Amino acid sequence: MFSSKIFTRISFHKINIRTFRQQQRPNPSKERSSPNNLLWKIIEENNIKGAQDWKDVRTQIQNEIRSVTPASIDAMTVSICTRKKKFNLALSYLDFLNNENVKLNLATLGKYFKLLYVKGVEESLATEDEEKILQMYDSLRTTYPVLDSLTLDNVTQALSLTKKWKVCLDLLDEIKVTSSPTSNTYSAVIAAAFSNKADNLAWKLLDELIENNKTIQDVVYITYFKRIITQSEKIAHIEKMFNFMQNNGVQIEPENVDTFVEAFKDLKVVIKNSNIHTRGVCKCCNKKLKTFELSDDEFNNLKTKILDNVIVGKDVFNKTTSEELERFNKFTSNMEKFDVIIDGLNVAYSAGVKQSSYVTSGLVAAVVSHFARVGKKVLVLGRKHMSKWPQKNWKYVQKNATTFLTEDLSQDDPYLLYCALNSGKDTVIVTRDLMRSHKFLLREVHLKLLFDRWLSQRQYLLLRVPENGEPIFKKPLPFSQIAQKNEEYWHIPCISDSTSASSKWLCIKL
């Protein structure tokens, strides 16, 4: 058992990692106002009613916001008015520029298209606005045969609301030459496809959006659910979208929840905001959510792809020496299966890098003690300088766990992942690292989802070590944080943190 005498060296500090993190957060009130906020303040204070007011605003902006150049004032003004949904104000500014014979630069033209798109989505596109978009597009392509990706994004969104929406498909290909279409642009074209009953195209583009790590915007849901109101078998169409969300790990962005709920207004289904109890029970319908465990085939597929394509192919060979790699290969060739793998430095510095070596080594020793006491086989991965920690703590770690230390300049994450995968799908990993960089290297969406499911079900996060020396962890939740059907109820997550049990959910009875 981990000696209480050892722990007395760290108990005085009363390490609470969550509190420490909160103390390090910057105070938003101390942050300087952004140019956009200052610009909007100037516009609001002037109570604009005519051309002279806009002239005064332009002058004031140049005098007060030094970071804004005369060439960028117009684009910023249109952009901030659009963001604040002051569409008529933005249009009056553009009329002012036209009357002053100010030629709009490309940045301002792009913001003009964005304005007409946002206005069209919010208020439905007026005939004169559609004509304006088409006229502007023809004129723009005559003047600028080649456009930058940012302008193309704005143009594509506006054009998606018109009768020539299919031109957007060519524009998407044009954007892909130098960049990747934004979430807003993909979503605008998908919504256009649904609106114009080109469902096969819409689903194809949704797959493409997910493959490119983009987020579905609420315009897609609004358009899709509006489209199926009058269709027979509308429940089947709703479930088609929900199944897509489940299969692709799609969550509703917190800021889009109200809009998502509003999209169901005319579908006559019962939809409620809910929370899921830490036991996995919905507080609205009392149904228990499921855990989607990886099958053996799924885990072995994930393991093979990560080991071959991510770790060996991308990380280990590039971020270690040949000698160290040979040492690691020798270690893993005879490696036993471990129940628990601890990210040594991650645990040690979970309370901050400025803690003494007594505190950092004590945290690792406490975690090792926790698992060793219940007979778990433990592996601690870290770096060589850890061997210089206070020997009483370090020797305890060595006696009660297997250790593998890399060079101090090496990245130890790939080793951690490699050992965890080789130990089997039930191995626990103790780290705060979400392994996003490794997940990113998995090109297939399906594999990324499997990776998320595996890690979320096996990851322990150290929260604190109180005076009794028994670590307190944030453990995996007993349910999967993905859209799922539980009897006649669907539960849709509205979360941005897959480790949080207090996230919002939608409980929907079809």
Query: In the chain, pLDDT over 90 holds for what percent of residues?
Result: 56
Please give the pLDDT value at position 2.
Answer: 53
Average pLDDT of the residues in 119-144: 94
Q: Is the pLDDT of residue 493 over 50?
A: yes
- Least confident span in 187-191, 201-205, 282-286, 410-414: 410-414
166 is written with which tokens?
């299919």
Average pLDDT over residues 93-112: 92
How far, CA to CA in Å, does 288 sit from each of 251, 276, 304, 482, 490? Answer: 19, 9, 33, 13, 11
**How does pLDDT run across 3-18, given as a tens digit for each residue?**
444 443 444 344 455 4
- Alpha helices, DSSP H, located in 334-484: 344-348, 357-372, 391-400, 413-423, 436-440, 445-458
CA 463 to chain centre: 23
Please tell me whether residue 85 adopts helix, strand or coil conformation: coil
Q: Please give the pLDDT value at position 43.
A: 82
HEC readout, 466-488: CCCCCCEEECCCCCCCCCEEECC
**For residue 112, what pLDDT band results from cuts at 50, 70 and 90?**
very high
Check if the beta carbon of residue 366 is closer than 8 Å to that of residue 7.
yes
| Rounded Cα–Cα distance for residues 320 and 383 (Å) | 12
Q: In the prediction, which pLDDT does 310 show?
A: 64
Average pLDDT over residues 48-72: 84
Q: Which domains does the chain have, with CATH numbers?
A: 34-227 (no CATH), 228-291+491-510 (no CATH), 294-474 (3.40.50.11980)
For range 126-141, the mean pLDDT = 95
| DSSP code for 281 | B
Q: Is the pLDDT of residue 32 over 60?
A: no
Cα dist from 186 to 189, 214, 219, 222, whole Å: 5, 8, 10, 15
Confidence band of 312 (pLDDT split at 50, 70, 90): low
Distance CA 463, CA 168 (A): 49
Residue 498 corresponds to which tokens in the numbers above? 């897959």
Q: How many Å apart are CA 435 and CA 103, to the nearest integer?
A: 49
Task: Tell me, rounded to whole angstroms, the distance of Cα 111 from its chain centroid.
Answer: 26
Amino acid code (one letter) for 375: G
Cβ atoms of 186 and 202 closer than 8 Å:
no
* C-alpha closest to that of 170 among 184, 183, 152: 152
Is the pLDDT confidence value at 218 over 70?
yes
pLDDT digits (tens, 9 = 90+) for 338-364: 999 999 999 998 888 788 999 999 999
Burial track 180-190 (b if 16+ CB lie within 10 A, e otherwise): ebbbbbbbbbb
pTM above 0.85, yes or no: no
**Mapping DSSP to helix (H, G, I), strand (E, B) and coil, where does residue 212 land?**
coil
pLDDT tens, residue by residue, 460-490: 999 989 988 899 999 999 999 999 999 999 9
Give residue 320's pLDDT band: very low, low, confident or very high (50, 70, 90): low
Query: What's the mean pLDDT when you consider all of the chain?
Result: 86
Pairing type for strands 270-275 and 489-494 reads unpaired
Residue 315 has pLDDT above 60, yes or no: no
What CA–CA distances, in Å, run from 394 to 10, 22, 124, 252, 365? 14, 29, 67, 45, 7
Q: How many CB atoms lie within 10 A of CB 173?
A: 10
Count of beta carbons in the 10 Å neighbourhood of residue 146:
8
Secondary structure of residue 503 in the 3-state scheme? coil
| Tens-place pLDDT, residues 38-58 | 888 888 887 888 889 888 888
Please, which pLDDT band fits residue 231 given cuts at 50, 70 and 90? confident
What whole-number distance in Å separates Cα of residue 39 and Cα of residue 58?
Answer: 10
Work out the burial of residue 100: count CB atoms within 10 Å of its CB; fewer than 13 is exposed, 13-18 middle, 19 or more buried.
exposed
- For 270-296, the pLDDT digits (tens) are 999 999 998 899 999 999 999 998 999
